[in-house]
Structure 1
Amino acid sequence: MIWIALFLHVFTSSAVYSHRVLPSEPVLLTEDVSDQEQKQNYHRDSSKDKCTMPCEMTAKLMRDEKHSLCTNLQHTMVSYTRNTRKLIRDLVDEQQKSLELLSSQIIELMVKVNTLSSDVQRSNSDIFSVKPMESHGRDCSDIKETLGAHTPKIPSGIYIIQPDNTDVSFEVFCEMDDMEGGWTVIQRRMDGLTDFKQMWSQYLDGFGHLPGEHWLGLRKIFSIVNQRNTHFQLHISLVSQDDSTAYASYDRFWLEGESKFFPIHLGRYAGSAGDAFRGYDQEQNQDTAPFSTSDIDNDGCFPFCTFADKAVESCSVNQNNTGWWFNQCGKANLNGSPMEQDLSQSYIHWDTWTKNGTLVGIKSVTMKIRRIEIPNLK
């Protein structure tokens, strides 16, 4: 009975406890669910805060860094521009100072040059007014005769001569070694370095370099060959492209005066190159022909001449504007260009020198004269 009473007591207590506790259990479950949702929301909000805040800060830092870089770049460019402008101004100023210095030096040099030129002119005028240029002789033949009595061997070279009946001294090249010496060179053509394309005034007074290519000048040649009691012989030396040689010699050579344009006069011919001055017929004869240039035409072409099977109005113009004693052009012109120098230009003509019926190409020529004493000749 005691065990039954205890059992009923425990059962009743459990029922009372159950009746008190059960109504509250659903509340506890609801609270648990709400707390879980809050925790989940907190975790989501925390995760959101953890993601959002660093990205915004990073973007802001990047914007700040970009702004700083742009600002620094702008400042750098401004500073570089200022420095560059300053450098350019300094360079311009330095160059200007250098130019001013050079200009002042040039002015000083010009003053000195003008002063020296005036001094030289005064010195020259003083020298020539007191003492004329001392000559070595009347021509190269006279020099050889005078010096040969005292000197066994006289060298070839430049000498000063003063022909008879002239007040002017001038330089000539004397050949003292070839054919007993005493030759005055009046023309030399050898390498084409001297331009023989000249006007009348240049052929009057001469041009070129005496040891090399040159034309002595019509006035000087006239003064030499028209001395008293003298005759002059003319010797022409020719060299071909293959270095073979030939010559033409005339035992008399003289010129008429300037008023008649210096007509040439030749004596008897001797030689191996043929008499190109006289040619093969009278129409080609250049003996007694006046001198012609491109601006003073005395070649006898009226209205034109036939040369190399073509009509020409001026022999000088047709033959590279060189000067010569043309007569309807003729067979000779020793003032042309050496053939091996420029085949497009008119070459040296001595058209009676042939080999196997073909004209010989001439690369060099020398014209020289030597006196022949004629006693009591007037």
Structure 2
Amino acid sequence: MWATTVLLLLLPQLVSSTTEGTTGHLNQSDTVSEELSDSPVKDQKAFRQTKGHDACSIPCDITVKLLRDEKHSICGQLQQSLLAFGRSTRKLIRDVMEEQQRGLDVLSGQVSELMSKVQMLSSEVQRSNTEMYSMKPVQSHGRDCSDIKDSLMSVVPKIPSGIYIIHPEETDSSFEVFCEMDYMEGGWTVMQRRTDGLNDFKRSWADYIDGFGNLAGEHWLGLKKVFHIVNQKDARFQLHIALVSNNDVTSYASYDDFRLDNETQFFRIHLGRYAGSAGDAFRGYEQEQNQDTAPFSAADVDNDGCNPSCSFANRTVESCSILHNHTGWWFNQCGLANLNGSPEDGEQNQGKRTRILWDTWRQSGVPYAIKSVTMKIRRLATNN
């Protein structure tokens, strides 16, 4: 390549030298002839010049042939270089693709292994769930809290209060209740408790049917559940109401032979004989105040007997539930008792009975302000 480049650079000079050399050769011959006798030194110089021109002169056809051969050689080398570059590039691309394929194969193997582990774990979980659900359901502790107490008395020296599972007779399922085992000889199934105001008793008919709240705290067990408990075969139940005033005075009201009618009768309440220190607010002082045998009412299911309205404390009342801040109870033209009563939101409203009400429990003629109440039921001994 270097020789070719030098040849291309010297080509114009070589062609010019060749043309001039042909003409100059004759002139120089004449000069040499004329000056041959002048000086030996001069003759030698002319001879060297003539010899140099002859040595450097290259004919045009030879030069063209050399250039053509050199061009063909360069083209051949360039083609070989391009072919070699193409081969190396294809090999590089092939190597890269093979490397990527090997990486994809490794990754695919890892994904397959992971999927296999996930499927195995899923199968384990499914089998565990199947085993769990195939297990027998938790057995109930008894038909009610009285039954639990009677069955445990012989094996446990002290039966603790708490949440137990009961399964009343002739019912399809078990459910949880709170049993008071340390109050008046125990065996009480709690059906309602008000203590701290954390649960809102402004509820719909459906909520009062099914129950709401926290069994260990404030709650309403539910009319359906209470119905199943108190309507068991050959069983009689007592209703006990324990009251605590704001200044920690305690009192109670008790009714034997407590029971409820079914849902088609709106869980009408039936009360036996009264006993206690808080007065018989359920029956009141007058017949129109008597709530015994009254159906249950809520804000959205009105069975209170005010049709279309009733008079109460010189006021016209269309709904006892709305008067008592949308709570549910066995209202009969409102009456003197509502242990589900709830205060109005915000400030108290004068003239409206919106709190827990047991009107017959009084001090100096004024009803006690009640801060907590518990309604509980227990089996009565049957006469054999």
TM-score tier (shorter) = 0.5 to 0.7
State the TM-score, normalizing by the size of structure 1.
Answer: 0.65
* Counterpart residue number, 1:49: none
| 1:254–1:230 Cα change, 3 Å | same
360, 374, 379: which is aligned to 1:352? 360
Q: What code does the residue aligned with 1:359 have?
A: P
Q: After superposition, give the CA deviation of every residue in 1:72-114 in whole Å (9 maximum; x if it has no partner).
A: xxxxxxxxxxxxxxxxxxxxxxxxxxxxxxxxxxxxxxxxxxx
**Equivalent AA in structure 2 for residue 140 of structure 1:** C
Distance 1:322 1:234 in 2: 21
Would you say how many aligned residue pairs link Structure 1 and Structure 2? 259
> Paired residue for 1:263?
268
Instruction: Report the residue type matching 2:376 in the other structure.
Output: K
Q: Can you list the C-alpha shifts for 1:150-208, whole angstroms capped at 9, x where unaligned?
A: 00100000000000111210000000001000000000011111011110110000000
Contact 2:196 / 2:218 at 8 angstroms: preserved in 1?
yes
In structure 2, the residue corresponding to 1:300 is in which secondary structure? Answer: coil
> For the Cα contact (< 8 Å) 1:200–1:296, is it kept in 2?
yes
* Pick aligned residue for 1:139 from 117, 141, 144: 144
Relative to structure 1, the CA distance from residue 307 to residue 286 in structure 2 (aligned partners, 3 Å threshold; closer, same or farther) is same
Distance in 2, Cα, partners of 1:124 & 1:238 = 48
Q: 2:370 aligns with which of 358, 362, 374?
A: 362
Pair 1:161-2:166 in alignment: yes
Deviation at 1:375, TM superposition (A): 5.0
Task: Choose from 264, 285, 288 the match for 1:280.
Answer: 285
Are the equivalent residues in 1 in contact too, given 2:325–2:343 (CA < 8 A)? no
Query: Which amino acid is 1:170 matched to?
Result: F
User: Which structure 2 segments of 5+ residues have no match?
Assistant: 1-121
When normalised by structure 2's length, the TM-score is 0.64
How has the CA–CA distance of structure 1 residues 333 and 130 changed in structure 2, closer, same or farther, with 3 Å as cutoff? same
Paired residue secondary structure (1:236): strand
Q: Is the 8 A contact 2:290 2:332 kept in 1?
A: yes
The CA deviation at 1:125 is: 11
Matching residue of 2:79: none
Query: Which residue, out of 174, 191, 208, partners 2:213?
Result: 208
CA positional deviation for 1:126: 6.2
Please tell me whether the aligned partners of residues 232 and 253 of structure 1 are also in contact (alpha carbons under 8 angstroms). Answer: yes
Partner letter of residue 253 of structure 1?
A: F
> CA 1:198/1:151 → structure 2, altered by over 3 Å: closer, same or farther?
same
Q: Percent identity?
A: 66
Amino acid at match of 1:139: D
The alignment partner of 2:146 has SS state of: helix
Structure 1 spans left out of the alignment, 5+ residues: 1-115
| 2:184 alignment partner, SS class | helix
Cα distance between partner residues in 2 of 1:219 and 1:124:
32
- Kept in 2, the 8 Å contact 1:189–1:338? The answer is no
Distance 1:338 1:153 in 2: 39
1:165 alignment partner AA:
E
Q: How does 1:115-264 map to 2 (within 5 A)?
A: 123=129, 127=133, 130-264=135-269
1:240 and 1:313 mapped to 2: Cα distance?
Answer: 30
Equivalent residue, structure 2, for 1:327: 332
1:316 counterpart letter in structure 2: S
How many angstroms apart in 2 are the aligned matches of 1:341 and 1:142? 44
Q: CA RMSD in A?
A: 2.5
